[in-house]
Structure 1
Amino acid sequence: MRDQESLTVPIGLDRTSHRPLQEQLARQLAQAVDNGQLARGHRLPSTRTLSRRLDVSRGVALAAYEILYARGYLESRRGSGTYVADTADRPAAVRTLSRPAPRADLVDCTPGQATREAFPLAAWRAAWRHASFQPPLACDLPAGGLPELRQAVFEHLRRTRGLVAEEHEVLITTGAPQGVAHVLAALGTRGRRVAVQDPAPSAWGQAVEYAGATAVALPADRDGGWTGVVPPSCPVAVVSPDGPAPSGTVMPALRRRQLADWARREDGHVVAVAQDHIAPSAAPLPRLLHMAGDRVAVVGDFRTVFSPSLRIGYVLAHRSLAGDVVRCVSRGHDQPSAVAQSAMAHLLTEGHVTRRLRRLAHLFARKDAVVRASLAPLQPGINLAAPGTPGVVVVHLPDHTRAEQVHAELGLRGVVVPTLASYHLPGRPAANALVLGHGHLSDRALRTALGELIAVLRADRAPVNRACGL
């Protein structure tokens, strides 16, 4: 089959959109795979042919393919070309709510990944040994999860986040995005609008879509903080009070009170996504759960603490809602195995999770200092945002250097650095910035990523310097 004939789905790129062209292209190709328009094993055009057909640079086409490689949609066959991966025919719900491992030959600086550095291997082995010594269950898993894990998560949230929730129950899921989707389904949001903190990880918007709702952004001020207004006709707001990637902006006490007041006044609900990679604060702010009680559900997971493969998350829901959430979990068969739940319970009760979080805080702080020191010579041309989400640095670029162009050029060099625009809902304006996730990178990979980023930024500003006589 000729390359010109190997792409049979229509592609439409909006050059006026704030979403980079390569991300638009990757999203449309991924949707074509999800919808069955592109079957597994289907050969795709070369990047040169695709760029010519769509009238874009080859860097855009290559960067889009790299995104799809990293997400498990595509595979390369030596001497033959690029094909839809054999694993790409999994159900869309599974793929959109989980992030496949990146290709080994890429340096993927996308935040939210786990690190193997200083991994507590002895504790990990002990937990699985403990779980394997337990006799198998004589019946099906309890609908809400193993009692020992539910209690261990409950104590973990009380100890590390100060959550006192006697009227709430812990339910076990396979991850935070899945938890968001199950809570929204239990609240009956299908066909309705759901307010989502913006910017935030794309998995949040995907979870809203999976629940059959439409995500709309919570209005933000110039600094990216919520303005205190919830869009009309939104019965639920999905937020992370303690700061989601990429900005890590913590919701102040006043905004928390406003959100709790809105939930009580408008008969609304709040889904609070817990960020377990953030070290507990010495002076914690008031918790939404304590301010709005039965109007708040907390979701989270442990994917960045140990490994995404563990696939264990939780929902802390009021008893009046817990039964509906359990039914949604059961309907979606969204339960980790009994062995995995038992191992996680051991890791929590023995204090290994808390110790791991403290260790990660030190690792992230050290790497953050390396990133900022390495990029300092490029200032004031670039501007580094104040420390926010641990393990992430937001790099604001000058107007003449477009973030999507730098992203595409880095993709050609084997380095994936997302743009800030990719964390916004479609149509939302975004600052001209890159999001450099570094906490999960080895020292060698971090040096490679920084070296390539500095080289691209210096090459981009060289013409400007010559034009200015510098």
Structure 2
Amino acid sequence: MIWVPIDQKRDIPFIRQVYTQIRTRILQGNLLAGERLPSTRQLANELDVSRNVVLEAYEQLIAEGYIEARHGSGTFVAEGAYLEQLHHTKSDPFFERDELSDEKDLIDFRSGLPDLQFFPRKTWAKLSYDVCMNSSHTVLSYGYPEGRPELRQALARYLVKSRGVQCQPHQLVITSGATQALTLVAKLLLKKGDQILMEDPVTRDIQTIFSTPGSILHPIPVDENGMRTELITPDFNPKCIFVTPSHQYPLGSTLPIQRRIQLIQYARATGCYIVEDDYDSEFRYEGAPISSLQGLDTDHVIYIGSFSKILSPALRLGYLILPPRLIKECRKLKWFTDLHTPSLEQITLGRFMEEGYLERHIHNMKKIYKKRRDHLVEVIEKRFSHQVKILGHSTGLHLVAEYQHTVFTEDFVKKMRDNGIRVYPVEDHAIEKGKHQNQMILGYGHLCEEEIEEGIRRLAECLG
């Protein structure tokens, strides 16, 4: 007799439970080819279920080739249904313990997370409903690889006004978030062996995206004024330069006009492109908003942005602004990547922007995030006095704490995790290792003031 326990409390049909467990035993070799299975009546009696439950489970297993019925002899495991397991898997997935949170009290200082409880659900739902119910049926068909014209027009107007970009709607390509935008740029510009200059440190995802074509990354160090452009010499022959000039990730510095001009002059002299990731720049708390690099040179700068931190990562809406000579090829790449970004969400976002909701939302969230930023700075200074230097706190949803006599090793980060706090060393994002071991990224956008205070208390406890 095979052991096939039924859990009466699970919200999973008995037929599926019987089918899944027998199938798993066959795939893992616990039931061998040629082995006879109990009759449907016998197994139903053992499990105290209707015989029809076992009949239907057997029929599904027969249809998929796992077992075979032999007339007059019974039901047997079929030949060739065993799959050697490369990793151990649990044989009864339905009866695994629910992994409820051993981490429910964890305070996570992850960067780049907005506070989603403030997402304007009612407004978005109203606009989304209206778009769905009242748009032409053509909206439900295949769309344009470059994105809906309604969103591109609204976005061009907004970016000219808020970020100082110089663009027309036809230069915009709407993407499924900034990650897709970056991937399209890498495919558009790079091939194996090409060189790219990249600020260092920089998020690991970007390192991966731009090295995937087989290109060669040359790290350019970042200081309190962003990428050190004086280190870019004529010896390099890059296809592009990656930079986050308005709010460098992760160190948070802003590239001054002198260095921006140096980058543009270098791009003009060499024919390369500057890839400007306008990371996290909407939430600036000190001074006027920083204008884009793209506004200084539309022919050599590719501008990338998204709505993940302004509104929600779940929307998966980002965009590219392209120099004219790259537009056609990028549209083609976008088409063969996913045809187009979902149309209804694009139209809804276009309406959201045109009717002024986006600017009001940013204005409201800036006040909330500034209050949290101020509280985090205050608590750090109170706990650590003069032991910590705070970097990059004028903009965005994170800051960097630089400690005088601490090295954030993997073991130390694990110790903090065990103490209910998750932090992120800057060193994890460094291309050249060893220069940022005493720096820690602390994201605060999604944390309330009480969580911020408790998190820093736990951090101080770990640091002794």
Flag whether TM exceeds 0.5 (same fold): yes
1:357 equivalent to 2:368? Answer: no
Which residue of the partner structure matches residue 339 of structure 1? 344
> What is the Cα deviation at residue 405 of structure 1?
4.4
Q: 1:379 to 1:224 in 2, by over 3 A?
A: farther
Which is greater in Rg? 2
Measured on the aligned residues, the alpha-carbon RMSD in Å equals: 2.9
Which residue of the partner structure matches residue 456 of structure 1? 462
Identity %: 21
Q: Helix, strand or coil for the counterpart of 2:386?
A: coil
Cα deviations by residue, 1:348-377 (Å, 9 ceiling, x for unpaired) = 112222222222221121111111221223
- Is the Cα–Cα contact under 8 Å of residues 106 and 415 in structure 1 kept in the other structure? yes
CA distance in 1, matches of 2:178, 2:339: 12
> What is the Cα deviation at residue 172 of structure 1?
0.6
CA distance in 2, matches of 1:384, 1:279: 18
The answer to which of 331-340 and 254-263 deviates more is: 331-340
- Show the 5 A alignment for 1:54-453: 78=97, 106-133=106-133, 134-136=135-137, 137=139, 139-166=141-168, 169-221=171-223, 225-230=227-232, 232-279=236-283, 287-333=292-338, 335-377=340-382, 378-385=384-391, 387-400=393-406, 402=408, 404-427=410-433, 429-453=435-459
Cα deviations by residue, 1:148-185 (Å, 9 ceiling, x for unpaired) = 11111111211211212249611111111221221221
Cα deviations by residue, 1:100-144 (Å, 9 ceiling, x for unpaired) = xxx866432111112124332222222222222224436411121
> What is the Cα deviation at residue 433 of structure 1?
1.3
- Is the Cα–Cα contact under 8 Å of residues 416 and 462 in structure 2 kept in the other structure? yes
- Is the Cα–Cα contact under 8 Å of residues 430 and 436 in structure 2 kept in the other structure? yes
Q: 1:285 to 1:363 in 2, by over 3 A?
A: closer
CA distance in 2, matches of 1:276, 1:369: 17
Q: Helix, strand or coil for the counterpart of 2:322?
A: strand
- Structure 2 unaligned residues grouped into runs of 5+: 1-84
CA distance in 2, matches of 1:297, 1:168: 14
Q: 1:394 to 1:77 in 2, by over 3 A?
A: farther
Cα deviations by residue, 1:192-245 (Å, 9 ceiling, x for unpaired) = 121122222222212213444333212334765423333613210111110133
CA distance in 1, matches of 2:86, 2:327: 39
CA distance in 1, matches of 2:202, 2:437: 14
What amino acid does structure 2 have at the position aligned with 1:322?
I
What amino acid does structure 2 have at the position aligned with 1:343?
T
- Is the Cα–Cα contact under 8 Å of residues 192 and 213 in structure 1 kept in the other structure? yes
Q: What TM-score, normalized by structure 2, do the two folds share? A: 0.72
Which residue of the partner structure matches residue 3 of structure 2? none
CA distance in 1, matches of 2:86, 2:366: 43
- Structure 1 unaligned residues grouped into runs of 5+: 1-37, 44-75, 82-102, 460-470
What amino acid does structure 2 have at the position aligned with 1:244?
Q
Q: What TM-score, normalized by structure 1, do the two folds share? A: 0.71
CA distance in 2, matches of 1:223, 1:186: 29
- Report the number of matched residues: 368
CA distance in 2, matches of 1:410, 1:130: 48
What amino acid does structure 2 have at the position aligned with 1:78?
R
Cα deviations by residue, 1:242-282 (Å, 9 ceiling, x for unpaired) = 01332221110000100000111001101111135434686
- Show the 5 A alignment for 1:36-51: 42=89
